[in-house]
Structure 1
Amino acid sequence: MENIRITKEFTFETGHALYGYDGKCKNVHGHSYKLAVTVIGSPISDNNHVKLGMVIDFGDLKKIVEEEIIDPFDHATVFNKNTPHLKLAKELEGHGHKVILANYQPTSENMVLDFAEKIKARLPKNIGLHSLKLRETETAYAEWFASDN
């Protein structure tokens, strides 16, 4: 059976600040992120299977990505856990705001690496994560490809 790639796209709003950065992004700001998740596998060929012809049900892929990425990151503020913004982070949390203290600088590059690991861990064994594309703005994005890693 031949491999097929399928893609599901997601959007979410996230704020962040880049600790130690020498430009505008050192300030807390936000983005309307767009995430394209592409998986690869063989379509189900069992005529008795309810998902005949699917690599993975788009709804199943959506559930994985929403639970691992969208639900935690949407309308959250992400800080590097080593940031001097910890006081601000705790104050925001104290007022009911969603804050993520990441083990990394929250750049698109590092976020896409984090997302790849989280999604790969949840995919069925017969489905591979082919690529991710995380668009931070209309003109800037980071991509992750399994073949590069």
Structure 2
Amino acid sequence: MSKIRITKQFTFETGHALYGYDGKCRNVHGHSYKLGVTVIGEPITDLEHVKLGMVIDFGDLKKIVKSEIVDQFDHATVFNKNTPHLELAKELKSRGHHVILVDYQPTSENMVIDFAAKISRHLPEHIKLHSLKLQETETSFAEWYASDNN
């Protein structure tokens, strides 16, 4: 049987700040992120299986990514938990804002590594995460490939 890759795309709005950065992104700002999630597997061949012909139901993939990434990061502000932005984070939280503290600098590169780990944990055993593409702007994105991380 052939291996097939399928991709589902997602969008979410997230704010962040890059502590210690020497450009404008040291300031709190936001992006309309686009996330492409590609998985690889073999289509189901069991004639009795309700998902016959599918690698994974797009709806099942959507549930995983929505729960682990979109619902968590959409309209949140992300800060590195080891930076002075903690005071700002506490203030925002006290005013009812959704703040995520991570143990990394919240660049697209680091976010896509985090997302790969979160998504992979929830995929069925016979499905593997192939790649992620996290687009921060129309012209800038970070990509993660399983083949680069073996």
| Correspondence list, 1:71-90, <5 A | 71-90=71-90
Aligned to 2:38: 38
Contiguous gaps of at least 5 residues in structure 2: none
Q: Distance in 1 between matches of 2:103 and 2:45?
A: 42
Deviates further, 134-143 or 83-92: 83-92
Identity of aligned residues (%): 79
SS of residue in 1 equivalent to 2:118:
helix
Which residue in the other structure is 2:99 paired with?
99
Amino acid corresponding to residue 59 of structure 1 in structure 2: G
Distance 2:91 2:62 in 1: 32
Q: How big is the shift at 1:83?
A: 1.3
**What SS does structure 2 have at the residue aligned with 1:13?**
strand
1:79-107 superposed Cα distances (whole Å, 9 cap, x missing partner) = 00011011110111111100000010000
1:61 aligns with 2:61: yes
Q: How many residues align?
A: 149
**Alignment-derived partner of residue 127 in structure 2:** 127
CA distance in 2, matches of 1:116, 1:63: 15
Alignment match, 1:111: 111
Partner-residue secondary structure (3-state), 1:122:
coil
- In the alignment, the residues of structure 2 paired with residue 94 and residue 46 of structure 1 have an alpha-carbon distance, to the nearest angstrom, of 53
Q: Distance in 2 between matches of 1:83 and 1:24?
A: 17
Whole-angstrom distance in 2 between the partners of 1:83 and 1:71: 24
- Partner of 1:93, secondary structure, is helix
Cα deviation code 1:96-140 (max 9, x no counterpart): 100000010000000000000000000000000000000000000
Between the aligned partners of 1:62 and 1:128, the Cα distance in structure 2 is 15
Aligned equivalent of 1:143: 143
Q: What TM-score results when the alignment is normalised by the length of structure 1?
A: 0.99
- Structure 1 runs of 4+ with >2 Å offset: none
RMSD: 0.4
List gaps (5 residues or longer) in structure 1: none
TM-score normalised according to structure 2 size? 0.99
